[in-house]
Amino acid sequence: MNHFAYHDRDLCCESVPLRALADAVGTPAYVYSRAALLDAFTAYDRAFGDVPHLICYAVKANANLGVLGTLARAGAGADIVSGGELYRALRAGIPPRKIIFSGVGKTRDEMRDALKTEVLMFNVESAGELRALDEVAREMGVRAPVALRVNPDVDPETHPYISTGLRTAKFGVPIADALDVYAEAARLGGIEVVGVQMHIGSQLVKVTPVADGLVRLASLVGRLRERRVRVGMVDVGGGLGIRYRDEAPPTQTEYARTLLPVLRELGVTVLVEPGRSIVGNAGLLLTRVLYRKETVDKKFVIVDAAMNDLIRPALYNAYHAIEPVDRARLAGPRETVDIVGPICESGDFLAKDREMARVEEGDLLAVMSAGAYAFAMASNYNTRPRAAEVLVEGNRYTIVRRRETYEDLVAGETAL
């Protein structure tokens, strides 16, 4: 996280001290670096520069309009999985012809909206979805551009909750069935076959599983072309991991270098759907210590951020580095603590048995690598307003999502 570093006394995001941000916008708050977002996106764009390509940011990782707008202006497309994400992508200025509609459970209303918008492509995940899309498209008098999401049955070697490439997963068409489903697609009047897609999982720290899946995909493309099925686009999905602790994922250049020989030979436009690897290390969660509590067995640091703000530790047992904002704390004593929030759940923790610098009530902490699947998965559990989101550029910042109010929490409800 090169854009988050200590300057003099304080941990900063680019040139903005986090202490000053906390004073201005309160805590908890999500803080994103514009430079980090652009560096990660540009690294992908350059890595695949030898072939026609489109980098479609996976909106599910972080759907804030400030994030999306920053990437849109840099030339990014979008990988979406819902009608709401379609709305956000368009609102942020991403052109429809740069939008891919993925997802295992698209509704007919979502299909209609995407067809009206004229998105680049639907990634279809089942024969049933294909038939529904055909019916909707014919009702509208159009043809839906389609790639099948093919499940190549490779082990992504990641957490089972975010593994999508094995034949036991709910995602995609089994590769053994793909030719038959493509044959059906080619016969349907409302469908235009334009490509093939795979996505094997998230937080991948090795390229080998993706490369294995791509070889299987390339073989399928060859067989489709023998049957005169046009395949002009190959979507390799996303999922490249980031460093949370001691992981050593491939760089964007290493990732592309492994895949490009096969992709060049296919002579296709390459689509890539990165999410976490663009935004994950571009953000942190800023929180303040409320209390210290010690029992016979444990030391607790109670902070004002909670599992409703960041559920990944409770959901995945995910690790996030946690750093004091005050640099002086690093030179002081260390201790082993649980860092917990105010929510009435034993699962409400940001770290367990964490060895770190001792902090005191009122101190600020930065929960690192929290740009992806963090605010995006936030909730109002315990009727807690969701945190503010802030985008930093150099020595300036913009509140790109204000903190919710209590009135926001009951808007749309009726007291009887």
CATH number at residue 132: 3.20.20.10
Does residue 233 sit in the same domain as residue 158?
A: yes
When mean pLDDT is compared across 160-169, 241-250, 327-336, 389-398, the lowest value belongs to 160-169
Confidence of residue 161 (pLDDT cuts 50, 70, 90): very low
Q: Residue 80: its pLDDT value, please?
A: 98
- Burial (CB count <10 Å: 0-12, 13-18, 19+), residue 242: buried
Confidence of residue 208 (pLDDT cuts 50, 70, 90): confident
Q: Residue 91: its pLDDT value, please?
A: 98
As a whole number of angstroms, the distance between CA 70 and CA 72 comes to 6
When mean pLDDT is compared across 242-246, 307-311, 328-332, the lowest value belongs to 242-246
Residues near 52 by Cβ (< 8 Å), separated by ≥ 6? 268, 269, 270
CA atoms within 13 A on the CB side of 361: 4
- Burial (CB count <10 Å: 0-12, 13-18, 19+), residue 232: middle
Where in the sequence is the domain holding 238, given as residue range(s)?
103-272
Q: Residue 63: its pLDDT value, please?
A: 98
Does residue 181 sit in the same domain as residue 229?
A: yes
Last residue of a domain, one of 240, 272, 304: 272
Q: Which of 67, 56, 57, 116 is nearest to 92 (CA)?
A: 67
Strand partners, 291: 302
Does residue 333 sit in the same domain as residue 229?
A: no
What residues are annotated to the active site? 344
**pLDDT 10s digits, 267-312:** 999 999 999 999 999 999 999 999 999 999 999 999 999 999 999 9
Q: What is the mean pLDDT of residues 31-42?
A: 98
- Residue 212 Cα distances to 216, 365, 372, angstroms: 7, 41, 26
Does residue 25 sit in the same domain as residue 156?
A: no
Neighbours of 406 (CB within 10 A): 8
Q: Residue 137: its pLDDT value, please?
A: 98
Does residue 233 sit in the same domain as residue 294?
A: no
Does residue 233 sit in the same domain as residue 134?
A: yes
- What percent of the chain has a predicted confidence (pLDDT) above 90? 86
Q: Residue 169: its pLDDT value, please?
A: 58
* 57 in Cβ contact with 274 (< 8 Å): yes
166 pLDDT above the threshold of 90: no
Does residue 121 sit in the same domain as residue 262?
A: yes
As a whole number of angstroms, the distance between CA 199 and CA 154 comes to 10
Q: What is the mean pLDDT of residues 134-144?
A: 98
As a whole number of angstroms, the distance between CA 60 and CA 164 comes to 15
Is the pTM higher than 0.75? The answer reads yes
Q: Residue 2: its pLDDT value, please?
A: 82
Q: Residue 74: its pLDDT value, please?
A: 98
When mean pLDDT is compared across 3-7, 172-176, 409-413, the lowest value belongs to 172-176
Does residue 112 sit in the same domain as residue 240?
A: yes
Last residue of a domain, one of 253, 272, 291: 272
Number of domains composing the chain: 2
- Local structure of 45: helix, strand or coil: helix
353 pLDDT above the threshold of 70: yes
As a whole number of angstroms, the distance between CA 278 and CA 71 comes to 10
CATH number at residue 359: 2.40.37.10
- Compute CA 202 distance to the chain's CA centroid, rounded to the nearest angstrom: 9
As a whole number of angstroms, the distance between CA 5 and CA 75 comes to 28
Does residue 268 sit in the same domain as residue 349?
A: no
